[in-house]
Amino acid sequence: MTQQPRVVIVGAGPAGVRAAETLVAAGVRPVVLDENARWGGQIYRQPPANASFERSKQALYGFEARKADALHTTMATLLPHLDYRPDTLAWACGRGRLDTLHAGREIGVPFSHLIIASGATDRVLPVPGWTLPGVYTLGGAQVALKSQGCAIGRRVVLAGTGPLLYLVAYQYVKAGAQIAAVLDTSALSQQIAAAPKLARQPATLAKGLYYMGWLQARGVRIERDVKLAGIDGELHVRAIRWQASRRSADSETLACDAVGLGFGLRPETQLADLAGCRFRFDAQNRCWLPELDAAGRSSVPGIYLAGDGAGIAGADAAELAGRRTTLAVLDDLSIAHPRGANLPDVASLERRLQRIAIFRQGIETAFTPPADCASQWPDGMTVCRCEEVDAKTLRHCIRSGAASEINRLKALTRVGMGRCQGRMCGEAALALLSAETGKPLEAVGRLRSQPPVKPIPISPALYADGVAAIPEEARDE
């Protein structure tokens, strides 16, 4: 190599940490950019440091305590061998350079090879009343407990679908919080039908069944195959309403002061988009994902993806993919793969990833988000939280023929134009487009990312260092 490689990893969750571990073992010193204050990502999120948080890893992570601890310890031992930058937001990606923000200061981070391990957020589908204080994502409900020792309310209902529903309920009840009900929009029959594929990861399946059985044994109310109707309250959550869809059209109401809402996970792909990666529609993830080869290389030379940010597959797969993708980076750098007891080879990694991939198919069958929810949304329901755009506005625009594609819909109605840039409303807007036009999800467009990936403050510190003046020929009025 004529030039020193500069390998940068965005994200310090399971994928990012294992990528860093593999690089360091091969003699490379990567830069690791972490938006959070401490490594661990979401699932292995650590409480704030230096604040006397006392709970053991067992208490925080349950059955995953050993994995969490291993990941945390690995990163701790890696620290002297890499450039770890916490509280650092990578907000734009140009050719060979990331723009990052840390403590109000702007720092350009050049790279020759970039591993994007940006993880995921909850997949959010709106329910009438979902903007009320007291409604949080399922992941948010978990973070409140794990990272802050808080329940999101005194009387919590968890609603939506996905394995997280049962895990969070278990964690809450175990910690002494009150779960008034678990409302799963998926039917038990779906979960049973998925059993053969789920059995490919027997330990994971066993844990899921354990959580369900444990909750049932403690009399926690679990309703399946529900149709969520709305969340009621004036200034905050007071109750949640649903229909037990197959049995009757009657609506049920349950008093509560908090709702944890989630329908699985969605990958964070904005940086990959800004980096110029080509995307393809993935039916299983129900969204557009960066095109990747089997090793995690994107369509842009030098840009790689691993973990949930490349497609939802869970924490175990993220660790494996972080390793696997980094071996491809090493190949591309003509650097030998590191060998060692804790450093599996490509064949072993790919075998395990393949097993998990089949398991994931099972998860998607067991916990499919409700199919026709878009047509049920009342006109008055807010779809875009940031801009307060309701379903009626979107339907009107689509039905008038003015927009049949998401970026056009955004330009005309403002959906997705707010601070969250479509993270919370994108799924819903696409679902509405699909429902109203009759076109499948992959035919109604892909929401284009624009920098900054997250809002940045307009701050003098951002431009303090050597920012050039606007050239004469570009001085428009």
Window contacting another protein (CB under 8 A); options: 193-201, 216-224, 305-313, 460-468 = 460-468
**Identity at 146, one-letter amino acid code:** K
Return the structure tokens found at 367. 């916990």
Closer CB to another protein, residue 109 or residue 305? 109
What is d(CA 207, CA 218) in angstroms, rounded to the nearest whole number?
17
Minimum gap (Å) between residue 423 Cβ and another protein = 5
User: CB-wise, 1 or 467, nearer to another protein?
Assistant: 467
Measured from the CB atom, the residue of 340 and 457 that comes closer to another protein is: 457
Residue 91, both tokens: 């907000």
CA 454 to chain centre: 14
Q: How far apart are CA 415 and CA 273, in angstroms?
A: 19
The rounded distance, in Å, linking the Cα atoms of 194 and 362 is 5
* Count of beta carbons in the 10 Å neighbourhood of residue 76: 10
Contact 53, 47 (CB under 8 A): yes
Q: Is 151 in the site for another protein (CB under 8 A)?
A: yes
Cα 89 to Cα 106: distance, rounded to the nearest angstrom: 10
Where in 320-379 is the site for another protein (CB under 8 A)?
none
Binding to another protein by residue 118, rule CB under 8 A?
no
Which of 198/228 has CB closer to another protein? 228
Q: Measured from the CB atom, is 94 or 440 closer to another protein?
A: 94
Confirm or reject binding of residue 215 to another protein (CB under 8 A). no
Residue 455: CB atoms within 10 A of its CB come to 12
Candidate list 64, 99, 308, 427; residue touching another protein; CB under 8 A:
99
CB of 372 to another protein, least distance (A): 24
> 57 to 86, contacts with another protein by CB under 8 A?
59
Considering only 358, 412, 434, 441, the residue that binds another protein (CB under 8 A) is: 412
- Which range in 148-156, 190-198, 324-332, 357-365 contacts another protein by CB under 8 A? 148-156
Which DSSP string do the residues of 18-75 spell out, in sequence order? HHHHHHHHTT---EEE-SSSSSSTTTTPPPPSSS-----HHHHHGGGHHHHHHHHHHH
Instruction: Kindly state the smallest distance separating residue 302's Cβ from another protein, in Å.
Output: 18
- Asked whether position 411 contacts another protein by CB under 8 A, the answer is yes
**Cα 164 off chain centre by:** 12
Of residues 372 and 477, the one with the C-beta less far from another protein: 477
Q: Is 203 in the site for another protein (CB under 8 A)?
A: no
Is residue 133 near another protein by the rule CB under 8 A?
yes
Q: Does 167 bind another protein (CB under 8 A)?
A: no
Minimal distance in Å, beta carbon 251 to another protein? 9
- Strands 179-184 and 222-224, by their bridges, are parallel
Q: How many CB atoms lie within 10 A of CB 221?
A: 13
CA distance readout (Å), 162 to 216, 365, 428, 444:
17, 10, 17, 25
Nearer to another protein, 53 or 293 (CB): 53
Among 62, 230, 344, 452, contact with another protein (rule: CB under 8 A) = 452
Asked if residue 114 lies in contact with residue 10, where contact means CB atoms within 8 angstroms, the answer is yes
The tally of CA atoms less than 13 A away on the side-chain side of residue 304 is 32
Q: Please report which helix (H) or strand (E) contains residue 229, including its range.
A: strand 226-232
Binding mask 256-285 for another protein (x = CB under 8 A): -xx---------x-----------------
- Residue 390 binds another protein (CB under 8 A): no
CA of residue 187 relative to chain centroid, distance: 24
Among 52, 56, 248, 334, binds another protein (CB under 8 A): 52
Residue 258 or 366: the one with the smaller Cβ distance to another protein is: 258
319 lies in the binding site for another protein (CB under 8 A): no
Q: What is the largest CA-CA distance in the chain?
A: 74
Site membership for another protein, residue 27 (CB under 8 A): no
Lay out the site mask for another protein across 414-433 (x = CB under 8 A, - = otherwise): ---xxxxx-xx---------
Six token digits for residue 53? 């948080």
Residue 451 binds another protein, judged by CB under 8 A: yes
Binding-residue total with another protein (CB under 8 A): 89
Q: Does 143 bind another protein (CB under 8 A)?
A: yes
Place of tokens 């660790």: 319
Query: How long is the chain?
Result: 477
Please report whether residue 201 would count as binding another protein according to CB under 8 A.
Answer: no
385, with CB counted inside 10 A (0-12, 13-18, 19+), is middle
231 binds another protein per the rule CB under 8 A: no
- The three-point CA angle 140-200-363 to 5° equals 35
- The verdict on 230 binding another protein (CB under 8 A) reads no
Least distance from another protein to the Cβ atom of residue 336, Å: 36
